[in-house]
Amino acid sequence: MKSNAVIAIHGGAGTILRASMAPEVETRYLDALSGILAAGQRILAAGGSALDAVEQAVRLLEDCPLFNAGHGAVFTSAGTHELDASIMDGRTLEAGAVCCVKHVRNPVLAARRVLEKSEHVLFTGEGAEAFAAAQGLEFVDPGYFHTDARYRQWLLARGEARAMLDHDGATLEAKAAANASADSLPHEPIDPNRKFGTVGAVALDAHGHLAAATSTGGITNKQVGRVGDAPLIGAGCYADDATCAVSTTGSGEMFMRMVAAYDVAAQMKYRGVSLSEAATNVVMEQLPRIDGRGGLIAVDAQGNVVLPFNTEGMYRGYARVGEAPVASIYV
């Protein structure tokens, strides 16, 4: 009997630079996505849980400097890093999250420990780090999160005295182009200065259970203490075996206001629509009402996978057990 087990991941959405794309750089991103998908796929193929699969995928995304989470996270307005993550078990509706952590190497691991070892759901700042330390998680010097590409991106945003959002104007775009030659990744598939950088994973395991996880470094030059949708259950992450598992990436404030991840599940439950219809409605109709840009990945209990986005591109992919991973960037 063929398994429905499947995992999907995302690594952010935004404006495409395809016209100037170097094939080797595009390949670098696609290979990273495919490799991470394969790691999650192996867990599912061995009968592992959806929760283990999404934790592993997001941990690897946090460790990859190509994406804005963990090593490679963007800088705050103070030139620091503040990381957020969440995880949810669709079998029990248990969830865990941390936000504004500065020394935890893998925030998704801290979120998993909150789910399993705490009566609470969300810890922030010093409290989150104290909890993570008590759980024996690995801490790193803040310099670990630094990459030269993100630093230059921050200098550009700081010069504009604003957080780096997708709707920044023509002047910012021109400056980004002028600085591209100095970047360690001069032609990323998605413009790093017009990109919503969150990572996430959703999965269905062979036992019929769902899980979701999301992690981020936030937005470049964000105000210290700013928290987006990624660590908020229902906004950036949601999982329920009765409906679906969802992880989002986009303009965090808009996804929070729309409770976007939960809205997909709610539409399935209360409207009786399919995963595809619910996710398309949220991304293509509900979010644009308030200028919400980005996308999401989702899987339901039957193994249906959707990856809709309303930007020019989204780092994304999925892998079914027994099949080769599929990774994409463009529309």
202 DSSP β-pair partners: 8, 212
Position 261 in a domain: yes
Model pTM greater than 0.85? Answer: yes
Identify whether the C-beta of residue 71 lies closer than 8 Å to the C-beta of residue 144.
yes
Kind plus residue range of the DSSP H or E element containing 288: none
Closest to 222 (Cα-Cα) out of 111, 80, 319: 80
Which pLDDT value is given to residue 187? 64
Using one digit for the tens of pLDDT, what is the confidence trace for 29-67?
999 999 999 999 999 999 999 999 999 999 999 999 999
Which alpha helices (DSSP H) does 142-248 contain, by range?
Answer: 148-160, 170-179
Helices and strands, number each (H, E), in the chain: 9, 13
Report how far residue 210's alpha carbon sits from residue 49's, in angstroms, rounded to the nearest whole number. Answer: 8
Quote the number of domains for the chain. 1
Position 153 in a domain: no
Position 156 in a domain: no
Report how far residue 124's alpha carbon sits from residue 126's, in angstroms, rounded to the nearest whole number. Answer: 6
Position 207 in a domain: yes
Closest to 245 (Cα-Cα) out of 253, 234, 229: 234
Q: Which domain holds residue 132?
A: 6-144+193-330
Report how far residue 246's alpha carbon sits from residue 296's, in angstroms, rounded to the nearest whole number. Answer: 7
Q: What tokens were used for 85?
A: 């993550």
Residue 162 pLDDT level (bands cut at 50, 70, 90): low
Position 51 in a domain: yes
Identify whether the C-beta of residue 3 lies closer than 8 Å to the C-beta of residue 302.
no
Identify whether the C-beta of residue 101 lies closer than 8 Å to the C-beta of residue 83.
yes
Q: Which residues are catalytic?
A: 198
DSSP assignment of 135-162: TT--B--GGGG--HHHHHHHHHHHHHTS
Report how far residue 212's alpha carbon sits from residue 203's, in angstroms, rounded to the nearest whole number. Answer: 7
Using one digit for the tens of pLDDT, what is the confidence trace for 168-177?
332 344 344 4
Position 320 in a domain: yes
Residue 2 pLDDT level (bands cut at 50, 70, 90): confident
Residues 6+ apart with CB under 8 A from 212: 54, 87, 88, 90, 200, 201, 202, 203, 237, 238, 239, 245, 246, 247, 261
Residues 6+ apart with CB under 8 A from 266: none
Residue 163 pLDDT level (bands cut at 50, 70, 90): low
Q: Report the CATH number at residue 90.
A: 3.60.20.30
Report how far residue 166's alpha carbon sits from residue 194's, in angstroms, rounded to the nearest whole number. Answer: 4
Q: What tokens were used for 330?
A: 């463009």
| Residue 216, amino acid | T
Identify whether the C-beta of residue 157 lies closer than 8 Å to the C-beta of residue 221.
yes
Position 176 in a domain: no
Which pLDDT value is given to residue 172? 43
Report how far residue 37's alpha carbon sits from residue 201's, in angstroms, rounded to the nearest whole number. Answer: 9
Q: Flag whether pLDDT at 16 surpasses 90.
A: no
Give the pairing of strands 294-300 and 6-16.
unpaired
Position 120 in a domain: yes
Using one digit for the tens of pLDDT, what is the confidence trace for 266-287?
999 999 999 999 999 999 999 9
Residues 6+ apart with CB under 8 A from 281: 267, 273
